[in-house]
Structure 1
């Protein structure tokens, strides 16, 4: 008799530092919705991770967390299929973080691409902090605490996961084969540009939030930066540098995408025409998301119950893992 393979375990989280936007939807959430049907999924609020850069404003974390879970569910995450929980409510994350820190060389952390990039780009606060330097160790604890076998990442995040794999290898070398090495699940995260032509990011203030009102979404889209080289209506455009075209590619039907591509390059349509065509599909989707969000926000106890049940499930899984870790390390 053939044994059915065990479903893979997938762990991923987001930092609650503000409203989620279209970049989150198409870069991560849409993929999570697909994965929940084929794997054991743990999706969490990374509130401790939020403190690594937002330690000066902790008051935004709890409110952002509630909004974030609402966005998860409104986007299609099913609490019956995936486990939703809060990182700081599962104290085993902190315990494993501490223990992994005992074997992680500082040099491994200092060479992290994100460590260097964020320190260069965030200059309005001190980030020469132990917590910020050590966040990849906490990230590793988050992943392996649930014996994750696959982690959805973009190509730019592969070096971060490789650091986690190195930590796992070192732990298993010293204490025995406790953890599987999490494998990257490469995702073709689409490029989503913000209203100013840069990557859509809360830090840049250039986002279109999930479920934002029709009026606000329309205003932002109509004022959005397009091809800067296209000065006049009769000038041919280059959709490859236009944020509106990137949104078409994740929102519109294939024939519309082809129509926009061809007519932009030949000046068959202007930027206003292109934006109006996008709004035909985007506005109804934003309105559907707004209705789902409002319905969830109107039932705060139901949402609390969902997260509480998920957190209890996560605690149980984490406790089983930490029993193994303590025995392997001769701590009990």
Structure 2
């Protein structure tokens, strides 16, 4: 029997290059070797104050994020894709698992603390926001996953998942595996503006669905070395967003090495470096656009994939929930 993966995305807008190197490409590589579940976490999306009043955006994003996953090369015959809200067993499981988590443990979660600080939430966050990590644990444990490809910022949530699984097993009896994480080859892709992370909300992202003209426009506006005023000035490569992207996406490593050598000696301008980055990105993005176009022209097929995914996931989650209730001596009359 194949080992199992669960991974996924919040449904707060289309996915971008940061998602690709953080998790998506690992999903594609592993889909033949693992029984893979992809969750479209629409309920999780409601945890953020920014989106609680945006039901239309979240609903539309379910379809958009599903197409993003399919367009990078996930095969619906091999993976199970579902919307979180269509599997109510996850909510019941989350409620039961939350009994095992001390409130101060959630407040110590570094991702929760970072989100409160970075989004300037103050004390304007919901109980659902604090419960986000427990809900994520329930997503993962509902299908008893072995492996979870995640972005670096989600690692603390996965660590809590392992703690919950261990505590449940030691308290009530063996049900859950303690899943391992897999971080993408670029743990956290910087934004186009040089910010610490590419993110939709800051407008510093290249989306997988961006057309060629938009990609080019965004790349040509990218931050480089702020101290370099002329092409003949020696430039800095380390920490330079354009070269970070070359390292991540340009498969011609000889070209990258040549650009770096000329850049630090003032023998190449930012324009040429960016032009070559556009070419490298288009090699990745054009096939993705072509696959996405097929699904955009047949959204009923995408909805069918999600319906079938929900059916299969509910079967698995219900089996897990029955085991949990049995171990906890909770009656089913």
* Structure 1 length-normalised TM: 0.93
Cα pair 2:237 2:263 within 8 Å, conserved = yes
Aligned residue number for residue 280 of structure 1:
279
Match of 1:3 in 2: none
Aligned residue number for residue 146 of structure 2: 149
**Aligned 1:197-208 pairs, distance under 5 A:** 197-198=194-195, 199-208=197-206
Alignment of 1:176-325 (within 5 A): 176-198=173-195, 199-252=197-250, 253-325=252-324
Shift of 1:190: 4.8
- For 2:210 and 2:53, how far apart are their aligned partners in 1? 27
> What corresponds to 2:163 in structure 1?
166
- CA drift of 1:195 comes to 2.3
Paired residues for 1:108-119 under 5 Å? 108-119=105-116
Shift of 1:105: 0.9
Conserved? CA contact 1:211–1:288, under 8 Å: no
Q: 8 Å contact 1:94–1:138 — kept in the other structure? A: yes
Q: CA-to-partner distance for each residue in 1:185-235, whole Å, 9 max, x for gaps?
A: 344325423221112111211111113111111111111111112122111
Structure 1 residues without counterparts, runs of 5 or longer: 1-5
- Aligned residue number for residue 33 of structure 2: 38
Distance 1:31 1:216 in 2: 26
SS in 2 for 1:12: strand
Match among 74, 83, 86 for residue 71 of structure 2: 74
What is the DSSP-based 3-state SS (H/G/I as helix, E as strand, rest coil) of the residue aligned with 1:239? coil
1: distance between equivalents of 2:84 and 2:277?
A: 37
Q: 1:56 aligns with which of 53, 59, 67?
A: 53
1:228-256 deviation line (CA, Å, top 9, x unaligned) = 12122111112222211122122212212
Is the contact made by 1:192 and 1:243 (CA closer than 8 Å) also made in structure 2? no
Do 2:186 and 2:248's aligned partners in 1 also have CA atoms closer than 8 Å? no
CA deviations 1:2-49 (Å, max 9, x no partner) are: xxxx42211111001011111111221111101112111111101111
Q: Structure 2 length normalisation: TM-score? A: 0.93
The 1:226/1:71 distance shift into structure 2, 3 A limit, reads same
Change (3 A) 1:17 1:164: same
Q: What secondary structure, in the 3-state scheme, does the structure 2 residue paired with 1:85 have?
A: strand
Q: CA deviation at 1:261?
A: 1.9
Q: Is 1:28–1:189's contact at 8 Å kept on the other side of the alignment?
A: no
The equivalent residue for 1:331 is: 330
Matched position secondary structure for 2:238: helix
CA–CA distance in structure 1, aligned partners of residues 187 and 220 of structure 2:
21
SS at match of 2:37: strand
Q: What displacement does 1:173 show?
A: 2.1
Gaps of 5+ in 2: none
Match of 1:131 in 2: 128
State the 1:125 CA deviation.
8.0
Superposed CA RMSD: 1.7
- Structure 1 residue aligned with 2:24: 29
